[in-house]
Amino acid sequence: MKLFALLFAAILGSSVGVSATAPKSEGIEEFEWLVGSWLRSGGKIQETWGRLSNSLLEGASYIVDGETGAKRQDEWILLASMGDDLYYITKPGRNPEPVPFRLVATGANSATFENLNHDFPQRIIYERVGETMLTVTIEGPGDNGETQRIDFAYEREK
């Protein structure tokens, strides 16, 4: 929990580059459907989400050993409502600092978070497909200057 207090301090002192005005968020409750455990196709990556408060969801991504089932946490994630903005704050194990992405677009079943000041990704898109499927897309500039897009499909664990 102390790590997340530090993440809040980082986001409050950070400038997040976005290309559009963020939509006014109705709050974390819009994303309550994320709470639970999601397993990526192939079963080697698990993403879990839990509600910490009325303004905060906590997530984590784990690498799962296919033989032993042992899990190693690879990424910490917060979905935090701050004022009129909603932030997706991620701290991958390989990054020295957390990276904030601000909510810039929502749909009935999707949310797009953006930070144009970050190298890759610059956009993270969550899309719910029915009640049991989730697609997470990361986008940003590729080595050749064109937009690189990577899609990850998850299924809700029972």
**What distance in Å separates the CA atoms of residue 57 and residue 55, rounded to the nearest whole number?**
7
pLDDT tens for 34-60 read 999 999 988 899 999 999 999 999 999
pLDDT of residue 145: 83
Residue listed under structure tokens 């932030």: 87
Range of the domain at 57: 2-156
pLDDT of residue 115: 98
Of 134, 113, 105, give the one whose Cα is nearest residue 33. Answer: 134
What is the pTM assigned to this prediction? 0.85
Backbone angles phi, psi at 32, to 5 degrees: -60, -30
Backbone angles phi, psi at 3, to 5 degrees: -60, -40
**What distance in Å separates the CA atoms of residue 59 and residue 98, rounded to the nearest whole number?**
13
**What distance in Å separates the CA atoms of residue 83 and residue 93, rounded to the nearest whole number?**
28
**What distance in Å separates the CA atoms of residue 88 and residue 53, rounded to the nearest whole number?**
15
pLDDT tens for 85-135 read 999 999 998 888 999 999 999 988 999 999 999 999 999 999 999 999 999
Distances (CA, A) of 75 to 46, 96, 140: 11, 12, 19
Domain count across the chain: 1
Do 44 and 63 touch, CB atoms closer than 8 A? yes
CATH number at residue 141: 2.40.128.20
